[in-house]
Chains A and B, each alone.
Chain A
Amino acid sequence: MSVPYTFTIVGKNDNPLYEAEFASGVKAKEQAHHLSQFVIHSSIDLVEEAVWKSTAMNLKGVDRFGKSYISSFVTAGHIKFMLLHEKKEEDAIKGFFQDVYELYVKIAINPFYQLNTPITSVAFDSRVKKLGAKYF
C-alpha cells in the first residue's frame, strides 16, 4: 500500500491547523488518510521531546512507523509541521519545510488571522499544494 505524503500543521495544543496530501501518482484511499493522521499525531510526543534537544527548527526525522518516516519542523512559536513520507529525502524535505515556513509567516502576519486557529486561506492551500508538487 503506497501512502502518499501527508503534511499536517499542528498547533500548540496538538490541534490540527492544516492538512494536505501529496500523492506521488497514487490516489489516497480513505483508510490510508485516517491512518496517516493517527500516525502523525502519535509522533507528536516524540517531537515535543526532540524540540528541547536541538536548537535548529528542522528536526528532520523524528519517528518511524513501519516503512514510513515522520519528519518534523517546529517554528519558534512551537507550531509543528509534520510530514509523513516513504522515502528518506532529507534535502527535498528541508527545502519544502523552509518554503512552507515562509508561507506560514505571511499568514501569521495577517492581523485577521488568530494564531493557533485552523488556516482556511485558499491562497495558502493552493500554494502549499504547488510546493508539494514541486518537491515531491
Chain B
Amino acid sequence: MAQKGARPYDRIGEQVFAKVDKINAELFTLTYGSIVTQLVKDYEDLGEVNTQLEKMGYNIGVRLIEEFLARSNVGRCADFTETAEVVAKVGFKMFLGITANVTDWDAEKKEFSLVLDDNPLTEFVELPESYNKLWYANILCGVIRGALEMVQMKVEATYVKCVLHGHDASEIRVVLKEILTDEIPASMRDE
C-alpha cells in the first residue's frame, strides 16, 4: 500500500547514496564492534551500555542532520508520516546503505516502527548467551533522536526486536513526544 510520497523517496535515497563517499563495510563493522565490546568491558552492566550507546548516537545525530540536509536537499516534511519515510528511505540509505521500512502506525500517527532487514553494524556478530539485555545497534536509536531533535521534533526511539536476539528483522519503535517550538537544544543549553 504505497503512500503518496513513498516512491520518490526511494529514488532520492539512491541518488544521494550514489553521491556520497563510501567506507569499507568491514572496517565500519569491526570499528563499531570494538566500540561495543569496549563499552561492555568498561560498564559491565548491559543496561548502562545501552544508555551509553544511545547517548553516543544522540551526539552523532545532532551533527549528522546538517550533513543530511545539505546533501539530500530534502525540503520540509509536511507531517510526521513524511518524516518517517524520509528517515527510512533517504537517511538510512545515505549513511548505512540500507533502506528501512516504515510500519505499524498508531491511530494518531504519532508512533511508527522502523523495520531493518539487514544492518551493516551487525554483520558477523553473534551475541553470547548472557547478553540478552544488550541492544547491540542501540546507537541508531540515539542518532534518530538527535537528528530529529535538531529539526524540532522530540522523539523517543527504542529497539523492540533485533536479529541478534533471534528475530527475523530488527525493529525500532519511534514515538513522537512533542513538536518543539524554537527552543535552544538541550546540548547547547546545559553547558
Contact = CB atoms under 8 A, between A and B. Distances in A.
B43 interface: no
A25 interface: no
Interface in A20-41: none
Interface stretch (A6-14, A72-80, A108-116): A108-116
B115 interface: no
Interface string B52-66: 000000000000000
Is chain A's interface secondary structure helix, strand, loop, or mixed overall?
A: loop
Nearest to B36: A111
B124 A109 contact: yes
Contacts of B126: 107, 110, 112-113, 121, 123
B28 interface: no
B124 A112 contact: no
Contacts of A110: 33, 124-126
Interface in A28-72: none
A29 B131 CA distance: 37
Interface in A101-136: 106-107, 109-113, 121, 123
Given A110-B126, A113-B126, A121-B126, 11 more contacts: A107-B126, A109-B29, A109-B124, A110-B33, A110-B124, A110-B125, A111-B36, A112-B33, A112-B126, A112-B127, A112-B131
Interface of B: 26, 29-30, 33-34, 36-37, 124-128, 131
21 contacts: A106-B124, A107-B126, A109-B26, A109-B29, A109-B30, A109-B124, A110-B125, A110-B126, A111-B30, A111-B33, A111-B34, A111-B36, A111-B37, A112-B37, A112-B126, A112-B127, A112-B128, A112-B131, A113-B126, A121-B126, A123-B126
- Sorted from nearest, which 5 A-B pairs have the closest CB atoms? A111-B33, A109-B124, A111-B37, A110-B126, A112-B128
